Chain A
């Protein structure tokens, strides 16, 4: 069964870079037609797609985050990652990694990242 697990610091200072890794098990990033993406959810609010990557090629990003977000993938180690630079308190959220093509069918449990000095 496919499992995704987010990892990374739970606290980031304003203006610094948020870095998260998603570890995929029970399936291979390099096979199939799926995208591997990041979705975030500020406390008490809704879901916002951040960006997604295929196992090769260029990632797609939410236009509102494209200047700050970078998603990379390593099929060899079955990981993909998110970097979000110049964070502010508005970037405080639960960050989920997920598998999708059209719809998102597998999600990680999420990791709360707080931006605070």
Chain B
């Protein structure tokens, strides 16, 4: 069973800055990876699937890359609404569907 890890746990970034979040899988998951954003008091929101495809309505400043075991989510020019917790999730050989532990992007 694939285990997902994310780093860093907390990422401090200034508004307008660039954030790069990392997600690593314990085994090769190909391109079977999604990213979610969760703001306080809200349910998770799908951002990206299949590593790099943005979900409907997701701004172009969100970019996903990677394959195999190493993946990144980059947020360019952080806006106030982007400060949140981000989770990766793999869907290789499900079940189970497994989420990473999350990265919190906070204001520096």
Interface residues of A (CB under 8 A from B): 37, 39, 46-49, 52, 60-63, 96, 100, 102-105, 107-110
Interface residues of B (CB under 8 A from A): 1, 32, 34, 36, 42-46, 49, 55, 87, 89, 91, 94-102
Report A103 CB to chain B, min CB distance, Å: 4
| A104 and B96 alpha carbons, distance in the complex (Å) | 13
Are A49 and B98 in contact (CB-based, < 8 A)?
A: yes
Q: Which of A46, A63, A110 has the most CB of B within 10 A?
A: A46
| A96 and B43 alpha carbons, distance in the complex (Å) | 8
Q: A39-B44, A39-B99, A103-B89 are in contact. List 18 more A-B contacts (CB 8 A).
A: A37-B97, A46-B87, A46-B99, A47-B44, A47-B99, A48-B99, A52-B97, A60-B95, A60-B96, A61-B95, A62-B95, A63-B1, A100-B97, A102-B34, A103-B49, A104-B46, A104-B97, A107-B45
